[in-house]
Every structure is written in structure tokens, then in C-alpha cells.
Amino acid sequence: MENADASLNPQTQTKDDSTIPQNEKTLALIVYALLGLGLFTGITFIAAVIVNYVKRGDITSPVIQSHFSYQIRTFWWALGLGVLSWFLTFIAVGLVLALVVVIWYIYRVIKGLIRLNDGKAI
């Protein structure tokens, strides 16, 4: 009977991310940090995607693999939309697009960090 009561109590339940190797989770966290710093430095944005591509074959956890794919897509879409917004600044629409891209980018980094912290795929 105690086991049934424990399963109903949310405070006794823990998230089950024990199948995620800690080193892989830490690596994904570092890449999210590099992506976030990329808003200020630019170069860490590139370093993040290099780490993704170099380490992608070593990742065993499907959860972390999904985060790596998400991080790579975030990089390429942000780069492409950033270049597009730069070209469009000459007709004033680019500044609005650049602002939208920055907000979208911040959203994706924060969403990824939250899902990683919860031990969930993205």
C-alpha cells in the first residue's frame, strides 16, 4: 500500500534521466551556453556548431542526440535568417526581421536548456 501512496505523491517522484550519461548532458549544456554567448561575441556561436558536428557521432543518448540536432538547426536557421535580415536592412524591413530572429533565437536556447534540465528530448 505504501508503494501506491508514494506513486501518487509528486514530491517522492524524481525525473528519470539516469539513462543520459552525465558527460553528454554536460556537453549539451556547454553548447547551449556557447549558443547563448554567441549573441554577444559571435565567435562562440560558430564554436557551438563545431562542437556539435565533431561530437555528434560520440553521443549515445537519444535525448542528447535530439538536442544536438536542435542546436545545429538553430545555428543554421539563425545564420540564414540573420544574413537575410542584413540584406533587407537596405529596405528597412531587415531591422524588424533581425529583432524577430534574435527573439526567436533566445527562445530556442532557453527552451532547449529547460528541456535538457528536465532530461527530455526536444
pTM of the model: 0.81
Q: Give the pLDDT of residue 6.
A: 45
**How far is it, in rounded angstroms, from Cα 67 to Cα 119?**
10
C-alpha dist (Å) from residue 23 to 32, 73, 114: 14, 22, 18
Q: Give the pLDDT of residue 115.
A: 96
Are residues 15 and 119 in contact, defined by beta-carbon separation less than 8 angstroms? yes
Is 4 inside a domain boundary?
A: no
For residue 47, give its domain range. Answer: 21-117
Nearest to 77 by CA among 93, 100, 61, 59: 100
Q: Give the pLDDT of residue 3.
A: 47
Number of domains in the chain: 1
Is 7 inside a domain boundary?
A: no
Q: Give the pLDDT of residue 17.
A: 56
117 CB contacts (<8 Å, ≥6 apart)? none
The owner of cell 517522484 is 13
User: Grid coordinates in use for 64?
Assistant: 542528447
pLDDT tens, residue order, the chain (122 aa): 444 444 444 443 334 556 899 999 999 999 999 999 999 998 999 999 999 999 999 999 999 999 999 999 999 999 999 999 998 888 878 889 999 999 999 999 999 999 999 999 99
Q: Give the pLDDT of residue 95.
A: 86
Is 95 inside a domain boundary?
A: yes
Is 112 inside a domain boundary?
A: yes
